[in-house]
Structure 1
Amino acid sequence: MSIRMAIKTLGDVSRGLQVPDKVLKEACRLAAQALTEKLTMRSSW
């Protein structure tokens, strides 16, 4: 799953759409990973 797909999936969930648990877990993991990388990059400036 790409970061873009993960964000789309989380958007779907926030709109109340049903998403399989496995898909949701993967989307959350990827989104958290992407955020962590962004924050890490930002703090190193």
Structure 2
Amino acid sequence: EQISTLESSFQRQQYLGAAERRQLAGRMRLSEVQIKTWFQNRRMKLKRQL
């Protein structure tokens, strides 16, 4: 469930600002650092696929 939420957020916006990151972290009960790291890793995965 968390991954699907993160993936749908990523599809809308590949780069999150501080406010969006804070909001998503609060909603998912994860730390902002975890959200930031997930998005960084996901962008790298996308880059490798191209």
Q: When the two structures are superposed, what TM-score results if normalisation uses the length of structure 2? A: 0.46
Where do residues 1-45 of structure 1 align in structure 2 (5 Å cutoff)? Answer: 11=3, 14=5, 16-39=27-50
- Point out the structure with max Rg over C-alpha: 1
Structure 2, gaps ≥5 residues long: 7-26
Higher relative contact order (Cα pairs below 8 Å, separated by 6+ residues): 1
Q: When the two structures are superposed, what TM-score results if normalisation uses the length of structure 1? A: 0.50
Count residues in correspondence. Answer: 30
* % identity of equivalent residues: 10
RMSD: 2.7
Structure 1, gaps ≥5 residues long: 1-7, 40-45
